[in-house]
Amino acid sequence: MNLQRLRIIIRKEFIQTFREPRMRFMMLLPPLIQLLVFGFAVNLDVDSAKIAWMDEDRSPQSRELLSQFEGSGRFIIAATPASEAQMQDLLDRGRVDGVIRVLPGFARDVERGRDTSVQVLLDGTNSNSASIVSGYAGQTIARYASQVMNQRQRDKLIAGTMASGGAITAQIPRVVAQTRVWFNPDLRSRNYFVPGVIVNIIMLVTLSMTAMAIVREKEIGTMEQLMVTPIRPAELILGKTLPFVLIGFWDMILVFVASLVIFHVPFAGSFGLLCFAALLFILTTLGAGLYISTISKTQQQANMSTFLIFQPFSMLSGFTFPIRNMPQVVQYFTYLNPMRYFLEVVRGVFLKGSGVDVLWPQLVALGVMGVVVLSLAVRKFHKHLE
């Protein structure tokens, strides 16, 4: 290993990557755009559900229920259909997430103390938001129900005590839930997703750039020229990969700063630990990029392979879809997924402020994987060069 030759090849790589103004743009802009789009778009919260209010009773009681819905802050009354056909049309066009339908006779039943019901019709196309909206609607109606119930109990008790002539004992036991949410008290999904973007961007950038940079030399034929220079394989590998380690780190810092400044994601942990974990993680992605470059002849092939690797690893990392929900077999597979560990570290450090004492298993896994993958890839690359 000759440091001077190494420096030269790194310099060449940087010049090549940043020579074209357009390429400079391409290196730095996509991560930022990805972060913005991810940060703003990736959101599974249902802040306000658009519902249609179909009141076939038109009574003070149904208006009281309507004001419960309006007052909850979770619903926007987007339409008031008058007929079943109109309601059907609203749901077909996806204009509303659901319809609350009060049937005729609602007020009469409430007044006479008979049990009654309110229809909630949901558009189940998006199953996730449908189940959240269903929960909100159920809670709102339950709140109204408990008002009615309190009223009735009071009436009954008063009637009962007046009949018996004793004292009024209006105490009825109640059980209430006191909920405290840890780490992300407002339940903002942005706090959960934005840190995860770091993982995706580092993976995508380092994997695809390494693979393509090497394959390009092969495709254009400059690899042969490199081979006839005194540069040794180890220097070539290091020189070809180090620039992308730096670009990966640059992207990480960019995303980190943006998530604090633009998205106000709380950062509870240690930045040093985050960088260390990123370094361990990049070992694996560089190894994988190197490996792809040995099996690809054209940049298109390298591209396809990168995506073929990136997609499943990203989807099975727990980024959007919780690992807990996956079938058992797939859960075992995720133990081999470096993105899973890095994601756990990033989220732990950001949201929970966890330290090495909690995250050491993830760090060990990342380290072991990085060393194994990278050394296998380097060996394969050596053979490939010879």
Partner 1 sequence: MNLRRTFAMARKEILHIIRDPRSLIAAFSQPLLMLLIFGYALSLDVDRIPTIVYDLDQTPLSDALIKSFRGSRYFNVVEEAKGYHPIDNAIDTRRALLAVVVPTDYSRNLLEGREAAVQLLVDGSDSNTAAIAQGYAEGLILTFAQQTRENAQSMRTGSVIHIPVEARVRVWYNTDLVSRDFIVPGLIGVIIMIIASLLTSLTVAREWENGTMEQLLSTPVRPVEIAMGKLAAYFLLGLADMGVALAVAIFVFHVPLKGSPALLLVSSCIFIFGALGWGIFISASQRNQLAAYQLGTLTSFLPAFLLSGFIYSIDNMPAVIRAIALFVPARYFIEIIKGVFLKGTGLRILWFNLVLLTAYAALVFYWATSKLKKKVA
Q: What angle do CA 364, 369, 372 make, to 5 degrees?
A: 125
Q: Is 137 in the site for partner 1 (CB under 8 A)?
A: yes
Both tokens assigned to 223: 């690899």
Both tokens assigned to 241: 């990969």
Minimal distance, residue 365 CB to partner 1, in Å = 14
Binding range to partner 1, per CB under 8 A, among 4-12, 181-189, 228-236, 368-376? 181-189
Which of positions 45-74 make contact with partner 1 (CB under 8 A)?
45-47, 50, 65
Judged by CB under 8 A, the number of residues near partner 1 is 116
Among 160, 257, 368, 372, binds partner 1 (CB under 8 A): 160
Cα–Cα distance measured from residue 141 to residue 139, given in angstroms and rounded to the nearest whole number = 5
Cα–Cα distance measured from residue 92 to residue 286, given in angstroms and rounded to the nearest whole number = 48
Both tokens assigned to 87: 């309601």
Among 3, 15, 127, 386, binds partner 1 (CB under 8 A): 127
Binding range to partner 1, per CB under 8 A, among 113-121, 225-233, 247-255, 277-285? 113-121
Binding track over 246-275 against partner 1, x by CB under 8 A: ------------------------------
Among 71, 73, 104, 185, binds partner 1 (CB under 8 A): 185
Please name the amino acid found at residue 113: G
Q: What angle do CA 23, 240, 252 make, to 5 degrees?
A: 60
Among 183, 249, 250, 267, binds partner 1 (CB under 8 A): 183
Nearer to partner 1, 92 or 386 (CB): 92
Q: Is 157 in the site for partner 1 (CB under 8 A)?
A: yes
Binding track over 93-112 against partner 1, x by CB under 8 A: xx---------------x--
Cα–Cα distance measured from residue 14 to residue 9, given in angstroms and rounded to the nearest whole number = 9
Which of positions 290-309 make contact with partner 1 (CB under 8 A)?
296, 298-301, 303-305, 307-308
Binding range to partner 1, per CB under 8 A, among 2-10, 41-49, 224-232, 236-244? 41-49
Cβ atoms of 344 and 359 within 8 Å: the answer is yes
DSSP 8-state assignment for residue 270? -
H or E segment at 55?
strand 49-55
Helix (H, G, I), strand (E, B) or coil at 237: helix
Which of positions 324-363 make contact with partner 1 (CB under 8 A)?
324-327, 330, 344, 347, 351-352, 354, 358
Nearer to partner 1, 70 or 219 (CB): 219
Q: What angle do CA 360, 363, 364 make, to 5 degrees?
A: 85
Among 223, 196, 383, 175, CA closest to 281:
196
Residue showing tokens 């950062």: 267
Binding range to partner 1, per CB under 8 A, among 4-12, 31-39, 244-252, 278-286? 31-39
In the chain, the largest separation of any two C-alpha atoms, in whole Å, equals 109
DSSP 8-state assignment for residue 93? T
Which of positions 187-246 make contact with partner 1 (CB under 8 A)?
187-189, 191-192, 208-209, 212-213, 216, 219-220
Among 124, 253, 372, 375, binds partner 1 (CB under 8 A): 124
Please name the amino acid found at residue 287: G
Q: Is 32 in the site for partner 1 (CB under 8 A)?
A: no
DSSP 8-state assignment for residue 288? H
Q: Is 38 in the site for partner 1 (CB under 8 A)?
A: yes
Q: Is 317 in the site for partner 1 (CB under 8 A)?
A: no
Cβ atoms of 287 and 366 within 8 Å: the answer is no
Both tokens assigned to 343: 């994601």
